[in-house]
Amino acid sequence: MRPSHLRRRAAWSALALLAALAACERRAAPSGGGVGAGTGSQAPPAAPAASTTAPAAAVEYLEEITGGADRSEALPLVVAIHGLGDRPESFAGLLSGADFKARLIVPRGLTPYNDGYSWFPLQRALGSDDVGQGVLRAAGALAATIERIAAERPTRGKAVVTGFSQGGALSFALALRHPRVVGAAFPVSGWVPAAVLPAGSAADPATPALVALHGDADRRVPFGPTRDAIAALSGLGVKASLQSYPDVGHTVSAEMRRDLVRLIRGAIDDMR
């Protein structure tokens, strides 16, 4: 995958865990030459049809065209959100070479963090109100970016969003709080802070279908709270489900990637 120049426009754990979480996310996030940690030998993904970047709102992003599509076509938006300490150039490898035709948008985190970027501070437990408010702020910036891109590019349907860890939490938040721009959400190893949950006894009827993917051996973002959040969302009327992966930790396994590509392809097919 060719790096692109980015331009600007515009807990369950404590501090001691953050460095480990960031390192784990960088290992888990796939690069252009593979899928991620613990996935075994993988052939490099095919080179994308094209790669450019453009500014929108306050979020910088990388843009690629997948599946041999023409950039001038009206294409679905697929938004892939990296985790703590990662960057778009490496995280794009998760879906580069996918066989579906789409405009792949890989946004960059809002704050530098080690060798990569962060979307929101994690100085407190993952479920704390401070973290929840940070998730909501970042999700608002991303929603504005998605809306701007959809208005400026030939676009078909609402965006399909996915993301790993911090990106998974943001995928939940985008689906639950910004259904006007999201048509389907597939969080990977993410979580749902209380501040992100719908208020009241029922979710917005426009909330899109949501399928979460999570390893049951994940010690960084534990499986149990995500399972409980999915159950709570289902009780509020959200079409939410969880796919678990035995003995998989905080990473994107080969099986998870295959399932994610299948889910995204299905969401795109449903737009026809």
Residue 202 lies in a domain: yes
Q: Using CA atoms, how far apart are residues 87 and 135, in angstroms rounded to an integer?
A: 18
Per-residue model confidence (pLDDT) at position 96: 85
- Would you report the helix, strand and coil content of the chain in percent, each value rounded to 5? 35, 20, 45
Q: Find the CATH number of the domain harbouring 223.
A: 3.40.50.1820
Q: What is the DSSP letter of 21?
A: H
Tokens coding 248: 């998989």
- Angle, in degrees to the nearest 10, between helices 166-177 and 129-152: 70
CA dist 80 and 3 (Å) reads 16
The number of distinct structural domains making up the chain is 1
Residue 193 falls inside a structural domain: yes
- Whether 7 is covered by a domain: the verdict is no
Mean pLDDT by 10 residues, the chain (272 residues): 35 34 47 30 35 55 96 96 97 93 97 95 74 94 97 96 98 97 98 90 90 97 96 95 98 97 96 80
Rg of the Cα atoms in the chain: 17
- Amino acid (1-letter code) at residue 73: E
pLDDT for residue 189: 98
The Cα-based distances of 271 to 6, 102, 158 in angstroms read 30, 12, 9
Residue 240 lies inside a defined structural domain of this protein: yes
Q: How far apart are CA 97 and CA 257, in angstroms?
A: 12
The span from the CA of 268 to the CA of 215, in Å, is 25
Dist. CA 107–CA 167, nearest whole Å: 10
Would residue 35 count as lying in a domain? yes
9 inside domain:
no
Q: What's the whole-model pTM score? A: 0.81
Residue 5, in any domain of the structure: no
Residues 6+ apart with CB under 8 A from 64: 48, 49, 50, 51, 92, 96, 103, 104, 106
Does residue 32 lie in a domain region?
Answer: yes
Cβ–Cβ < 8 Å for 213, 256: yes
Compute the distance between CA of residue 270 and CA of residue 266 in angstroms, rounded to an integer.
6
Q: State the Cα angle at 122 between 117 and 126, rounded to 5°.
A: 125
Instruction: State residue 46's pLDDT score.
Output: 37
Domain that holds residue 100: 15-269
Please tell me the predicted confidence (pLDDT) of residue 175.
Answer: 97
Cα separation, 12 vs 20, in Å, equals 13
87 HSE (CA, 13 A, CB side): 12
